[in-house]
Amino acid sequence: MLTITPEQCVQAIYQTEGGSHTKHPYGVLTKYHNTSPHDACLNTVIHAMHTYHCVAIDRKFIYLLADKYCPPSVDPHGNKNWKSNMINILHL
């Protein structure tokens, strides 16, 4: 079984959210005084793992995280693409 670390998940989110070609690295829209977008994203991943009681980053976790990062109620097409991109990048 492939083990995906939170940091690998964060890097996949960076790519999925547009990488260096976006105004919002890692999909983080809020500006924090003491936290970088990378660290805010990492905190989100770790918090989601605790919230959903996930011991591994797998396809199920990516689907749960997608609904937080790109809610289907806001952008159904984007949500579907986010899931697909993350699964492809992480080879799930």
Measured CA to CA, the distance from residue 31 to residue 88 in angstroms comes to 29
pLDDT above 90 for 81: yes
Q: What would the pLDDT profile of 1-31 be if each residue is shown by its tens digit?
A: 568 999 999 999 999 999 999 988 998 888 8
45 touches 10 (CB < 8 A) = yes
What are the E-state strand segments in the chain? none
* Closest by CA position to 13, among listed 65, 60, 51: 65
Amino acid (1-letter code) at residue 79 = N
Question: Strand, helix or coil at 46?
Answer: helix
- The residue extents of the domains of the chain are 6-90
pLDDT (tens digit, 9 = 90+) per residue, 44-68?
999 999 999 998 999 999 999 999 8
